[in-house]
Chains A and B, each alone.
Chain A
Amino acid sequence: MKRQRLLANTFLFIFLLMFIVLPFVPLVLSSFSYNWKWPNVLPEIFSLSAWKYVLFDNSGTWQAIGTSLLIAFIVTAINIILAVPAANALVRYPLKGRWLFEAIIFAPIVIPAFVAVLGIHLTFLRFGLTETIFGVVLAHLSPTLPYVVRAAMTSYNTLSIDWEDQARMLGAGPLSRFYHVVLPHLLPGIAAGASLSILISLSQYLITFIIGSGQVMTLPILLFPFISGGDPAIASAYSLVFAGMAVAALLILDLALKRYYKKKQAAASKGVRE
């Protein structure tokens, strides 16, 4: 009986592992291959040349990573500044026409961003916003902002007004109330929203391509010609860099948040001891 269960568990384990990990195997193998011929299951020659090209020979790679991250962080910073007050209003105030505001703010979740971007393209062209990082930032705002508002709303939902009142009674002004009471409570939600915002911004291809007109080189723009019929080894290496960039950005955010809480906790316990 016990052995049977163990067997079943192992079987399930392998099934899940295959589903998640197997698809990455050819990607990794291909990135280290040179002229991988059918029907060899493993590449006949392992080579670092694709990685060498991607990481060292093509200076465009690092520039593209930089541009991608720069755009993602600017977009996310703007989103947070816009989303926190909006979430505050939506959760904690009586509002007339709340449904209208919610419909406006959450519409870009449903309607794909490129519809609006193709529509506004020629207007952007006239204002000289195409081919600029600023223009691309503007284009990335609407598909990302709703998620940040959503996440901030979740945090506001569990924040009691009493805590702020208490701080007010202890003599805290609006700024220090926000900084010491509201912000620490909102941070996990903001971080979750920011992760989504960064992720969505990093993986945009079409709207960056339309507004950037091929001049704003983010990583997806750089990578596309390779994956649609270029050298598979280089395409694979670029794909891994691209996926790695997204995962790394999220991990760093996660770590930063954990560190913040550790510091906070340490400070709190120190305060108690004194």
Chain B
Amino acid sequence: MLRKIKPYLLLFPAAATIVLLFFGGLFDGFLKSLGYFPAIGETGFSLKAYSSLFHSDAFWDSLIVTIRIAAISSVLSAFLGAIVAVVVFMMHEKSRSGALNLWNRLFQLPLTIPHLVGGYVIVLLFMQSGFLSKILAKVGVIEQIPDFPVLVNDSFGWGIILAYTWKEAPFVALMVYPVLERIHRKWRDVSRVYGAGNWDFIREIVVPAILPAWTVAAFIVFVFTFSAFEVPYLLGVTYPSMLPVYSYQLYSSGTLADRPEALAVNLILALLTVLLGLIAYYFSKRWNVLKGWE
């Protein structure tokens, strides 16, 4: 008997913690989004918060901005990350020295940096009177501060996109690199025998090999940028804001009436991320991204 229930006993503390603190929170939020809130005497259920959300422009604008920013950031960081990984891989092949292990460590630097700091780095680099603007002015490309485009706290979201691209490209590179390492050195030699240059090798062998892991990595970046708060809070504008920021604005605006709406935004956000997460999971299983090939 004890043998049979032992694994469940081992699992219980961790699972209970998540159920209580996480799913409890989701459920608590769900009830309140329906207007059920006994502490202030509200015991009825209604879909008022959801219907007023679906009728507000602010919500749809926010959803569109969120999808746009997440899509552009994930595509850009996927390309940059893949280029970086392939470049390091090709260099590694040539030099074969252990010194290049240093690169692996260096890559992790943007990953280790907290998002708030990453966001601030982008502010200093790209704001209108920022570092790049200063360099361009010294070189003589621009003459006044307003000549530099507005890239931080702009309504399109370029600042957020730049921050995520820089922060997440190393993540994509780290996801792709192990796959590259499994490309046998012999394959390179064989391709050379058949007269393939560097570029042919990359196109015919490297790209098809990394495609599954690469797609999944890009997708993970999409889901993450879709639902993260810090960077858009720092680098975005008040309107239209990304969904997590929009929810926080509603929640902290002061009136209790807005809170069910904020929690409704949250629930929608959670549902969307679960959906996206399931898609990523499905493809990573199907393409065997994590196991690779023999």
Q: Give residues in A with beta carbon < 8 Å to B.
A: 5, 9, 12-13, 15-16, 19-20, 23-27, 29-30, 38-41, 81-83, 85-86, 88-90, 93-95, 101, 104-105, 107-120, 122-123, 126, 138-139, 141-142, 145-146, 149, 199, 202-203, 205-206, 220, 223-224, 227-228, 232, 235-236, 239-240, 242-243, 246-247, 250
In whole Å, how far is A7's beta carbon from the nearest beta carbon of chain B? 13
For the A-B complex, the count of residue pairs with Cβ-Cβ distances under 8 Å equals 225
Contacts of B134 in A (CB 8 A): 38-41
Q: Is the interface of A mostly helix, strand, loop or mixed?
A: helix
CB <8 Å contact, A242 and B114: yes
Instruction: Pick from A29, A88, A113, A142 the residue with the most CB of B within 10 Å.
Output: A142
Q: Is the CB of B263 within 8 A of A26?
A: no
**Which of A111, A142, A223 is close to B17, meaning CB atoms less than 8 Å apart?**
A142
What CA separation (Å) do A30 and B130 show in the bound complex? Answer: 10
Chain A's nearest CB lies how many Å from the CB of B83? 9
* Contacts A38-B137, A86-B11 given; does A110 touch B21 at CB 8 Å: no
Q: How far is the CB of B162 from chain A (nearest CB, A)?
A: 10
Name the CB-closest residue of A to B277: A110
Q: Report A-chain residues with C-beta under 8 Å of the C-beta of B121.
A: 23-24, 26-27, 239
B2 part of interface (Cβ distance < 8 Å): no
B residues in contact with A23, CB < 8 Å: 110, 121-122, 125, 166
Q: Is the CB of A203 within 8 A of B116?
A: yes
Q: Mark B268-294, 1 if CB is under 8 A from A, else 0.
A: 011001101100000000000000000
CB distance from A236 to the nearest CB of B (A): 7
Q: A23-B166, A89-B7, A250-B112 are in contact. Are A228 and B25 (CB under 8 A)?
A: no
Does B87 contact A15, Cβ atoms closer than 8 Å? yes
State how many angstroms separate the Cβ of A115 from the closest Cβ of chain B.
4
Most buried by B among A13, A40, A123: A123
Closest-by-CB residue of B relative to A241 is B117
Which of B126-141 touch A at CB < 8 Å?
Answer: 129-131, 133-135, 137-138
CB distance from B174 to the nearest CB of A (A): 13
Q: How far is the CA of A114 from the CA of B21 in the complex (A)?
A: 12
A227 and B112 contacting across the interface, CB-CB below 8 Å: no
The smallest beta-carbon distance between A56 and chain B, in angstroms, is 21
The answer to whether A118 and B266 have CB atoms under 8 Å apart is yes
CB distance from A137 to the nearest CB of B (A): 10
B262 x A118 contact (CB < 8 A)? yes
Supposing A86-B15, A232-B124 touch, asked if A118 and B114 sit within 8 A by C-beta, the answer is no
A239–B120 CB distance below 8 A: yes
Output the nearest chain B residue to A15 by Cβ-Cβ distance.
Answer: B87
